[in-house]
Chains A and B, each alone.
Chain A
Amino acid sequence: MDDQVNVTAARKAFKWVGTRPVRPDGVPKVTGRAMYGADMHMPGALVGKVLRSPHAHARVLSIDTSRAAALPGVRAVITAADFPEQTFEYIGPERVAVNFWHVTRNIMAREKVLYEGHAVAAVAATSDSVAAAALALIDVQYEVLPHVIDVDAAMAEDAPLLFDDMITRGVEPAPSRPSNISKRLEFKIGDLDAGFAAADEIIEHEFKTATVHQAYIEPHACSARFEADGQGEVWSSSQGHFTVRALTAKLLNMPVGDLRVHPAEIGGGFGGKTVVYLEPVAAMLSKKSGFPVRLAMSREEVFRASGPTSGSSMWVKIGVTKDGKITAADGVFKFQAGAFPGSPVMNACLCAFAPYDIANARTVGYDVVCNRPKAAAYRAPGSPISAFAVESVLDMLAKKIGMDPLELRLKNACRIGTPTIFGPKHAHNGYAETLQVLLDHPAYKTKLGPNQGRGVASGYWFNGGGESSATMQVNADGTVLVATGSPDIGGSRASMAIMAAETLGVDYNQVRAIVADTGSVGYTHVTGGSRVTFATGTAVVDATKTVIKDLCRRAAMIWDVDPEGVVWEDGYAKPAGSNVGEFKPLSLKEIAAKAAQTGGPITASASLTAGGQAPGFSTQFCDVEVDPETGKVTILRYVAAQDVGRAIHPAYVEGQIQGGVVQGIGWALNEEYIYNSKGQLDNPGFLDYRCPVASDLPMIEAVLVEVPNPAHPYGAKGVGEVNICPPMAAIANAIENAIGRRLTELPMSPPKVLAAIEAGA
């Protein structure tokens, strides 16, 4: 990988890449002036509200909206009947296999409600109180049906069926009876029987993980304005306003070109804001009423009606030789999809054993519907779940053969050329480097006290590429504007400005980066999949290079020389050699001042489909202390190493790692959806849905391992997701190290830990 060497060597020359300048969105956020989804208040806007099902599973017999519509102040009432029906077909990527027949039913229930909180109607009124009163006047008659919440129960022969005609895909011959199993997947490599026969030790175990929410601080919110000519505008907080545009236009059966979507600031998404809930509803209410409509979810609505990630039931079996070589691995992963098909179980299958060189392996996945809100993406969707099972079994094996758990992983670490279970060979290193840096970490060998334990685990995530666009404008005073279509969730405006400044050779503070609406920049895929710094960053660098070429051409015009006689260095146009002539270098500001005379405004755009993204690897260890009287687990130390390729803005990269780890700690120890016997969520708020807060945590030490990706101009890899893969297993392994009992079900809350202690007493 000569390119990697070149990128590494070039690092010394970087002026801005790798530095930590002040974030451009900091002041508006800390002063409360940043405009989030709910902050848009248009003149004459109506208040929208959504009526939601109190039942987990019921047939909708009738909906009478007449009394609500007659209430003074009510301007519109809508139900599913206002939205066009969609064709039943799976379109697009198999993992997310968008079936708009399902999507439109998730937006607004039709024949049945499939989870508590499922939207059944919506109103737009002149005030909050009138809207609330109108909801109370909508008469919905239900036939309550038996429901199913748990994934294993949903797969049972006698389980209540959410869809009477769902035949499992991926099974041949196709089953003759419907079930809640939407799909079966299988990936395999090598000879499993031979692999397990070669093992000296084999461990298999079952695991369960709870449904957890992305728990973004900002609830879903949007405003929509529909004009009489059929054109519309939406303002919303999302991870991709181009996706909001596409989905909303499809659900309203309108041309994409007639809808413009403006990105608001986003208060967290973590995958959960890559889909739409409110935007089509607000747009339809606006269309019907003729007024702008604002819709915002309450926290309860967020929990009840927006996508968490899947809960799961898993089985994993791994065999090793006495000296620690993995000979075979097998896993079955059953994922809750929620009310409609589309869990991230395929990713779980692909990522489960991906960090390891295993000649014989198989993963089987089941996508299972149940009476919960439809699952949405959550940080490396699917991978953290399978990692919990796989990394727990690896820890058990390491203990059984008396090997350090990091050494076991290092012995089996994938490298360039290692085959994967899904076929291609790994094209990038980075995993072994994360292991080695923790083996060398001074805290890894420190002595632990009573009731304390140490655990390690690793994780893998693909990272993403795809379509991105960027536009650069050079202003008359030499300042620079960079516009992209990527909502800024993790500091991308700073990263874009850094890469533009680095490429252009100007001061970072000369560059302002913004997120432009769908009418002002080229199509850009969502801020998700850890793709923005890689894909959109490449588009920014490409646009910058085009601007530089134009600047050189203009300098040549000013000097009256051939354009080939001008080079761009450190922010200045300079003669390429003494034969060109003696000219004082021209700054960006000097050339910008002559823009009108040299051809007009200096702008350039770049659009691309970025490819060659490198995967992310993370390895983490933590020290915990378990209170033997209460079962409470305290995290004493947490160290997270991650291959980040090249940290463009290290503080933001560290923040991504810390954030992913903290979400993983919550997933490990406390977070879960708790349903009552009627299938109603009992803890739809942060008091009862327990996320970690600062006082629960030590400082998360982020260790940045830089193995640059040659496919990116500065070597960047995606950094936003893989960090959430290891924590659940790392903490389970640490608890086992502390109390000598293996916990296999998340969350490992105090009652479960205490029960484990008492069972072993």
Chain B
Amino acid sequence: MSGAAPAKVVFTTGFARRYTGGEREFAVTATSLRGVIKEMDRLFPGLGATLEEETTVAIDGALHEVGYFQALRPGAEVFFIPRIEGG
């Protein structure tokens, strides 16, 4: 991983405030979404479960349900937004 540009990780709303104290943007070095979740949970214990259960993720703009398997390119933009449900 050394030398790879970190992913830009952003929480769209304040859903993570109780963990991060309001901080919403992070630089995380990871090759998959699992790596991002693990790192966020290491920094803010309990946040990982919240991200897994309560959010939808946009990776470089494309929406996904949160899954460990999603790969990240170096410098990827990762936005966690409250999960969207349709009708």
Q: Report yes or no: A377 in contact with B79, Cβ–Cβ below 8 A.
A: no
Taking the complex as formed, is A422 at the interface, i.e. its CB lies under 8 A from any CB of chain B?
yes
Partner of A531, one of B54, B67, B77, B86: B86
Expressed in whole angstroms, the Cα–Cα distance for A96 and B86 within the complex equals 10
Partner of B54, one of A94, A270, A380, A461: A94
Stretch in A50-58, A74-82, A102-110, A423-431 with 4+ CB within 8 Å of B: A423-431
Which residues of A have CB within 8 Å of B17? 172
Q: Please, which residue of chain A has its CB at the minimum distance from the CB of B11?
A: A423
Q: Report yes or no: B83 in contact with A93, Cβ–Cβ below 8 A.
A: yes
- The minimal Cβ–Cβ distance linking A460 to chain B, given in whole angstroms, is 12
Expressed in whole angstroms, the Cα–Cα distance for A187 and B67 within the complex equals 25
Taking the complex as formed, is B62 at the interface, i.e. its CB lies under 8 A from any CB of chain A?
yes
Taking the complex as formed, is A401 at the interface, i.e. its CB lies under 8 A from any CB of chain B?
no
Stretch in A437-445, A476-484, A608-616, A680-688 with 4+ CB within 8 Å of B: A608-616
Partner of B82, one of A93, A425, A711: A93
Which residues of A have CB within 8 Å of B58? 423-424, 427
- The minimal Cβ–Cβ distance linking A360 to chain B, given in whole angstroms, is 17
Most chain A CB atoms below 10 A, which of B67, B70, B84, B85? B85
Q: Report yes or no: A185 in contact with B13, Cβ–Cβ below 8 A.
A: yes
Taking the complex as formed, is B23 at the interface, i.e. its CB lies under 8 A from any CB of chain A?
no
Q: Report yes or no: A611 in contact with B63, Cβ–Cβ below 8 A.
A: yes
Taking the complex as formed, is A528 at the interface, i.e. its CB lies under 8 A from any CB of chain B?
yes
A-contact 0/1 string along B1-25, CB 8 Å cutoff: 0000000001011110100000000
Mark out the residues of chain A between 60 and 115 whose CB falls within 8 Å of any chain B CB in the assembled complex: 91-96
Partner of A377, one of B67, B81, B85: B85
**Known pairs A93-B54, A467-B65; A423 contacts B85 (CB<8 A):** no
**Known pairs A423-B10, A611-B70; A464 contacts B84 (CB<8 A):** yes
Most chain A CB atoms below 10 A, which of B54, B60, B61, B86? B86
Q: Report yes or no: B86 in contact with A170, Cβ–Cβ below 8 A.
A: no
Q: Report yes or no: A270 in contact with B87, Cβ–Cβ below 8 A.
A: yes
Taking the complex as formed, is A48 at the interface, i.e. its CB lies under 8 A from any CB of chain B?
no
Q: Report yes or no: A377 in contact with B87, Cβ–Cβ below 8 A.
A: yes
Partner of B86, one of A271, A467, A610: A271
Q: Report yes or no: A381 in contact with B87, Cβ–Cβ below 8 A.
A: yes
A: number of interface residues (CB 8 Å): 54
Taking the complex as formed, is B64 at the interface, i.e. its CB lies under 8 A from any CB of chain A?
yes
Taking the complex as formed, is A750 at the interface, i.e. its CB lies under 8 A from any CB of chain B?
no
Expressed in whole angstroms, the Cα–Cα distance for A756 and B86 within the complex equals 35
Q: Report yes or no: A612 in contact with B64, Cβ–Cβ below 8 A.
A: yes
Taking the complex as formed, is A529 at the interface, i.e. its CB lies under 8 A from any CB of chain B?
yes
Q: Report yes or no: A613 in contact with B63, Cβ–Cβ below 8 A.
A: yes
Expressed in whole angstroms, the Cα–Cα distance for A435 and B87 within the complex equals 25
Expressed in whole angstroms, the Cα–Cα distance for A33 and B53 within the complex equals 41
Taking the complex as formed, is A350 at the interface, i.e. its CB lies under 8 A from any CB of chain B?
yes
Expressed in whole angstroms, the Cα–Cα distance for A393 and B67 within the complex equals 39
Which residues of A have CB within 8 Å of B65? 465-467, 609-611
**Known pairs A94-B54, A466-B65; A422 contacts B79 (CB<8 A):** yes
Q: Report yes or no: B62 in contact with A427, Cβ–Cβ below 8 A.
A: yes
Expressed in whole angstroms, the Cα–Cα distance for A172 and B62 within the complex equals 31
Expressed in whole angstroms, the Cα–Cα distance for A424 and B55 within the complex equals 14
Which residues of A have CB within 8 Å of B84? 93, 95, 347, 350, 462, 464, 529
Which residues of B have CB within 8 Å of A749? none
Q: Report yes or no: A95 in contact with B82, Cβ–Cβ below 8 A.
A: yes
Q: Report yes or no: A426 in contact with B86, Cβ–Cβ below 8 A.
A: no
Expressed in whole angstroms, the Cα–Cα distance for A529 and B70 within the complex equals 21
Mark out the residues of chain A between 235 and 287 whose CB falls within 8 Å of any chain B CB in the assembled complex: 270-272, 274
Q: Report yes or no: B62 in contact with A381, Cβ–Cβ below 8 A.
A: no
Most chain B CB atoms below 10 A, which of A186, A347, A417? A347
Q: Report yes or no: B15 in contact with A271, Cβ–Cβ below 8 A.
A: no
The 30 listed contacts between A and B (C-beta, < 8 Å) are A92-B54, A93-B54, A93-B83, A93-B84, A96-B83, A170-B14, A270-B87, A271-B87, A274-B85, A274-B87, A346-B82, A347-B84, A380-B87, A381-B87, A416-B61, A424-B60, A426-B61, A428-B62, A464-B85, A528-B85, A528-B86, A529-B84, A530-B86, A531-B86, A609-B64, A610-B65, A611-B67, A611-B70, A721-B86, A721-B87
Nearest 4 A/B pairs, CB to CB: A271-B87, A529-B86, A611-B64, A427-B61
